[in-house]
Amino acid sequence: MRHGIILAKSIPAKKYGIHTGQSVTEALQKCPELLLVPPNYNLYQRSSESFIRILKEYSPTVEQYSIDEAYMDMTGMEALFGEPQKAALEIGRRIREELGFTVNIGIADNKVLAKMASDFKKPDRVHTLWTGEIQELWPLPVSELFFVGRATFRKLSQLGIKTIKDLAETDPGLIKSHFGKMGDVIWCFANGLDFSAVEPVPPPNKGYGNSTTIAFDVADKEHAHLVLLSLAETLAARLRSDNVRAGVLSVGIKDWDFHYYSHQTILSSPTNITEEIFQTACQVFDEAWDEQPVRHLGIHTTRITKGE
């Protein structure tokens, strides 16, 4: 659609500079012959569940990181499945033959290096990256480091930090002064350090959100409120499913020109009731909206409390 975005790009499309989150209009300007395929979320969900089931046959400690990514702690599994590379090749073969798609597998002695190794040459590959080998990645642009997004990359560039090596050799205190706790994380990552464990049980959500890109520019409150109702229904259902309530609500708005802004309010009492979330979202939207046509809306909640 005219206002759609790229949810995932193929390897050939990436060569044209097409990236996830880019507007379809912008992607077509870069590659007029681009083949666009509509998403099929139900298929992705079923494939994801089957993918995780296979992984759990090889380790009791599997942390699902996203719909198509997971970490596995294979400590002690050598007696059953052999050395890491052998186990990885078998897992990749089974996913390819039983589920019909390929995976890249990264093997390392911590999570961040495994993640970075899995992003090496694709598709259908197994790569290793050990702590002592991190310096091999130092010549790469710092944007290639896990957790360094576009905004962080811009700030690092302003500090004169262009490569992973630059970041690794910068005083960690300086990085923390500019990025807070995240500065500690990316400095450790640049040095190949990651002390987080593989967590099979996800930690409690600190916030719940739901958003959507609308198929047409919304230019009136009535249509915007209908979109907010749809978002509020799904969001409230998730809160009730987890037996939690939200105390702070914000509405995010992206207009036709990709300008993003948001506004939030503290609820009089924490809630997971659809009607209360919907009415509050409408009030927040009405207060914040600058009457420019809207292409994307989101409701986000924080200050989550458990139980009654």
Catalytic residue list: 69
**Beta-ladder partners of 245:** 305
Q: Which residues of 223-246 are buried (b: 16+ CB within 10 A; e: fewer)?
A: ebbebbbebbeebbeebeeeebbb
Cβ proximity of 63 and 200 under 8 Å: yes
Name the pairing type of β-strands 208-218 and 294-306. Answer: antiparallel
Handedness of CA 136, 138, 144, 145 (dihedral sign): positive
- Cβ atoms within 10 A of the Cβ of 260, count? 10
Q: And the tokens for 134?
A: 């991190």
Respond yes or no on whether the N-terminal peptide bond of residue 202 is cis (omega within 30° of 0). Answer: no
Instruction: Give the Cα separation of 157 and 164 in Å (integer).
Output: 11
Q: What are the start-end ranges of the H helices in the chain?
A: 11-14, 24-30, 41-56, 78-81, 84-99, 111-118, 150-158, 164-168, 172-179, 181-190, 221-241, 274-288
Alpha-carbon gap, residue 116 to 178, rounded angstroms: 24
Q: What angle do CA 96, 97, 99 make, to 5 degrees?
A: 70
